[in-house]
Structure 1
Amino acid sequence: MLKKTLIAVGLAVAALAATATPASAAEYQSALKILGIQYNAPGPDDNRCMGGNTHQEYLTIKNYSTTATINLRGYLVKDAVGNSFKFTADHYLQPGDYVRLRGGNGNDSDANNVVYRDNCNFIWNNTGDSIYLYKPSGAGADSHSYNPARDDADGNGYVTFH
C-alpha cells in the first residue's frame, strides 16, 4: 500500500510540474530577445536630425539561438502607446549575434550590427516604458517594461533585460 501511495504521489508531483508554467515562460518561446535598452540618450534630448542625439537612443536585440540564423525582416518593435518600427529589409543575426535599433538616420549595416529607424523622434520614454517585440507571424517574441527608479541603479540611461 505504501508503495502504491508513493507512486501516486510521485505521479501527481510530476503532473503538476509538467503543467505548472512560470509567468515568464512565453517570453522564452523565441530565440530573439530584447537584450537591453538605452532609453535615455546621453546629454539633453535633442531630436533634430542633424546635430541631435536621437541616434544615441537604441534597443539591443540578440539572437540567443546556438544554431539558427534569424532574418529580422518582418519583425516589429512597439512601445506602450503604439509607436513602432518594422524591419522591412533583410538583416541577418547569426547565433549569438545582436543588432542595435537606433533612432535617427544612418546606414544599416550587418557588419556594424546596426539598423536605423529613419525617424529622428525619440521613441522610448525617459520615465519608463514597455517594449514589445513581435515575430513576422504577429506572435509575441519578447516584451519588457522598465522604470528608471527600479531598473537603472547607476542612472546611465541603460537597462539590461537578458
Structure 2
Amino acid sequence: MRSTRPVIAAALAAGALTGALVATPAHAAEYASSLKIAGVQYDAPGRDNNSCTTGNTKAEFVTIKNFARTGTVNLKGYVVKDAAGNTFVFRYNHYLEPGDHVKLRGGRGTDSDGGNVAYRNNCNFLWNNDRDTVRLIKPTGAAADTHAYTKSANDRDGNGFITFHG
C-alpha cells in the first residue's frame, strides 16, 4: 500500500500540471502582444465640452504600455478603436521602449516621444461615459488588446479612470 501512494500522488500532480498546461493557452493568447491598454480616462474631469479651444477633450486619454522586458515597439500603424468603430491610427513613428507608455489624448497638440504623449487631433470625445470597448489593433489587423468597461462595474471610485494591466 505504501508504494502506491507516491504513484497516486504523482498521477494527481501530473493531472494538475496537465490542467494548468491546458489553461495556459487562453492566458497566453491574451498576452500575445507586448503592447497593452494600461488604462483609460473615459470621462474627462469637469463638464464635457468638446470645443477645441475651451473644451476638456485633452483630459480624456487611453494609456498604452509596452510590457515587454526587451524590445522597442514602434506604434506606427497601430489602431485604437471604440465600440462604435471610431478609430485613431498612429500614422507616424512613436517608439515605446520596454516599460514605456504613451497617453493618446483627445484634442489637438504636438506628439512627443519624450513626453509620452500623442494627440488624436480631434476634439470630439472618443470614449462613452457609461460603457464602451477599447481596442488596440496591430498594423497586421490582429488584436493586440481589448477591454470592455461599464462605469457601474469597473469604475468603483467614480473618477472616470479605469486601470486594466496595472
Q: TM-score, normalised by structure 2?
A: 0.88
**By how many angstroms is 1:20 displaced?**
2.2
Change (3 A) 1:106 1:160: same
Q: Match of 1:16, SS?
A: helix
Residues 39-54 of structure 1 aligned to structure 2 (within 5 Å): 39-54=42-57
Structure 2 match to 1:152: 155
Structure 1 match to 2:17: 14
CA distance in 2, matches of 1:4, 1:51: 72
Given the alignment of the two structures, is residue 73 of structure 1 paired with residue 76 of structure 2, yes or no? yes
CA distance in 2, matches of 1:160, 1:18: 28
Given the alignment of the two structures, is residue 55 of structure 1 paired with residue 55 of structure 2, yes or no? no
Q: Partner letter of residue 93 of structure 2?
A: D
Structure 1 match to 2:124: 121
**By how many angstroms is 1:17 displaced?**
2.5
CA distance in 2, matches of 1:24, 1:135: 19
Given the alignment of the two structures, is residue 106 of structure 1 paired with residue 103 of structure 2, yes or no? no
Q: Partner letter of residue 125 of structure 1?
A: N
Structure 2 match to 1:141: 144
Q: Partner letter of residue 93 of structure 1?
A: L
Q: Partner letter of residue 33 of structure 1?
A: K
CA distance in 2, matches of 1:5, 1:65: 40
Q: TM-score, normalised by structure 1?
A: 0.90
**By how many angstroms is 1:103 displaced?**
0.6
Q: Which moved more, 1:14-23 or 1:71-80?
A: 14-23
Gapped runs of 5+ residues in structure 1? none
- Percent of pairs with identical residues: 55
CA RMSD across the alignment: 1.9
